[in-house]
């Protein structure tokens, strides 16, 4: 199966590289010139527009920042829909609003193009080593066709339900991650302020019920004040806004999510929006007038 890949950012570039390593014939977008050149050196072919990519492949994967970018790439001028043939499959691996996924799916379906929404979780480290978790919404027969391709970038690929269900699952994931990061931040700043080494606290609690993937991955970053982005605050804000919009539509209040969104928004106002979401700890450090990085 010849595959197109559009969106070569922090997540997309290593995902595309893993597809090449798995032996797939890959055509990538030239929008990110340096990333495209690196992938071309590994064996990928570069195309100028989504339309040119769609015209020559059987499957298009997209990994883009948000709903407007996915809509533009799929349906805009020079978009996938202009180069699509009946039978083309589009798998959007971005994290977007479920309603947007359903709207784009409907427009593509009118041209006999199938679409799945398949957002991912795991951040840059798991994108690099090919162990992402993928949550998929859409037709189960189409899912069966593309699942072997998704296995090249993921350790877990789960079909959740109809179109939009993948992004509902991703919003649930982002709520859990955001609240977990906030809880770890609160706990470690409490330890520091009370005069106990927070790194010792991490070692003490990680083997018990408080242990989590978030604690393992993000506590070391908080302790070192290393906020090089694996997943930027600005992107987590986008996901939480989508979660709250969806919650309002269906009548499922998310009060804790709303509180963490306000914390992230305060950090964005202070210029931290490009940092990793583990930088949320700085909100708590500011309130407690302390720092985990202190000796």
Distance CA 66, CA 68 (A): 6
pLDDT in tens, 55-68: 999 999 999 999 99
Domains of the chain: 2-162 (3.40.50.720), 168-288 (1.10.1040.10)
Beta bridge partners of 29: 47
- 8 A C-beta contact, residue 66 and residue 59: no
Q: Where are the beta strands (DSSP E) in 93-248?
A: 114-117, 120-121, 132-137, 154-161
Q: What is the pTM of this model?
A: 0.90
pLDDT at 123: 87
Report pLDDT digits (tens) over 111-169. Answer: 999 999 999 998 889 999 999 999 999 999 999 999 999 999 999 999 999 999 999 99
Residues with Cβ < 8 Å from 123, sequence gap 6 or more?
11, 217, 230, 231
Residue 295: pLDDT above 60? no
Each residue of 76-103: pLDDT tens digit?
999 999 999 999 999 999 999 999 999 9
* pLDDT confidence of residue 1: 84
Q: Which two tokens stand for residue 166?
A: 């993948």
Catalytic residue positions, numbered: 170
Residue 246, both tokens: 């969806």
pLDDT digit string (tens) for 19-71? 999 999 999 998 889 999 999 999 999 999 999 999 999 999 999 999 999 99
Q: How confident is the model at residue 294 (pLDDT cuts 50, 70, 90)?
A: low
Q: What is the pLDDT of residues 178-237, one digit of tens each?
A: 999 999 999 999 999 999 999 999 999 999 999 999 999 999 999 999 999 988 999 999
């Amino acid at each position: 199966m010849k595959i197109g890949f559009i969106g070569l950012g922090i997540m997309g570039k290593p995902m595309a590289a893993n597809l090449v390593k798995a032996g797939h014939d890959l055509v990538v977008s030239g929008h990110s010139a340096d990333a495209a050149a690196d992938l071309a050196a590994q064996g990928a072919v570069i195309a100028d527009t989504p339309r040119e990519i769609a015209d020559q492949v059987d499957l298009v994967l997209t990994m883009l920042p948000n709903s407007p970018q996915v809509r533009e790439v799929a349906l805009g001028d020079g978009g996938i829909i202009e180069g699509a043939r009946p039978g083309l499959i589009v798998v959007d691996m971005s994290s977007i609003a479920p309603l947007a996924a359903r709207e784009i799916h409907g427009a593509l379906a009118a041209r006999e193009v199938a679409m799945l929404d398949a957002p991912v979780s795991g951040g840059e480290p798991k994108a690099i080593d090919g162990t992402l978790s993928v949550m998929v919404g859409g037709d189960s027969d189409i899912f069966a066709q593309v699942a072997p391709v998704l296995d090249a970038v993921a350790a877990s690929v789960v079909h959740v339900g109809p179109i939009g269900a993948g992004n509902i699952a991703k919003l649930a994931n982002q709520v859990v991650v955001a609240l977990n990061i906030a809880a770890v931040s609160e706990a470690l700043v409490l330890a520091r302020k009370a005069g106990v080494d927070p790194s010792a606290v991490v070692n003490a609690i990680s083997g018990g019920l408080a242990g989590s993937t978030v604690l393992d991955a993000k506590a070391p970053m908080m302790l070192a004040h290393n906020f090089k982005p694996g997943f930027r605050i600005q992107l987590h804000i986008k996901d939480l806004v989508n979660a709250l919009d969806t919650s309002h539509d269906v009548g499922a209040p998310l009060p804790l999510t709303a509180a963490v969104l306000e914390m992230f928004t305060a950090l964005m106002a202070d210029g931290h929006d490009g940092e990793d979401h583990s930088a949320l700890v700085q909100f708590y450090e500011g309130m407690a007038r302390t720092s985990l990085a202190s000796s």
